[in-house]
Structure 1
């Protein structure tokens, strides 16, 4: 039985498959989206415990998707992590201001990714802002 549901939103099908393999091996249930608008649609349908959002996606960025997710009252407690290949302090600040709980750098080590997701979930529900 799955411990928690994680929504992975990334326009790269190969990366989504990598995350799925890494997390399902650790007993997470993984659902997927491939665009910013998918993030909200799938999250409302699946009610994930955490969402991993790619920073750069065509059409709508992960930052915009993060803001849209945070605007949905029924998703208030969901943990959101921006996940990107870049590691820049400015990007970390933008992610926090958009409502992200964490900023993860894409890691080629599946065990490291699973540990990062577990830490995200261990922090408990996201704080609800009034």
Structure 2
């Protein structure tokens, strides 16, 4: 078992949740039940799966939750691209957030590689 609050991947993904909520507050109102909701659910899913998986009794079971977390990270990246393509955010903000999500994806993958499966 791992203490999720001591995991850098959890810390970084919690910061992404804040960034996601900050970004989605700027999206058009008509996106409230679409892109806004989906982006925030995905962002929340990343650290949620890390914390839930950390309670499992084996690294094999934890890895399944890390896979789900990684999937949500890729899904969030896709939604970020959609938001950018719709011109809901600047190129600079897009680049900043894209770099953050890619870093989280690498961190999760790297953490998975260190597990004893």
TM-score > 0.5 by shorter chain: no
Higher relative contact order (CA 8 A, sep 6+): 2
Higher percent of residues as helix: 2
Larger Cα-atom Rg = 2
TM-score (norm 1): 0.27
Higher percent of residues as strand: 1
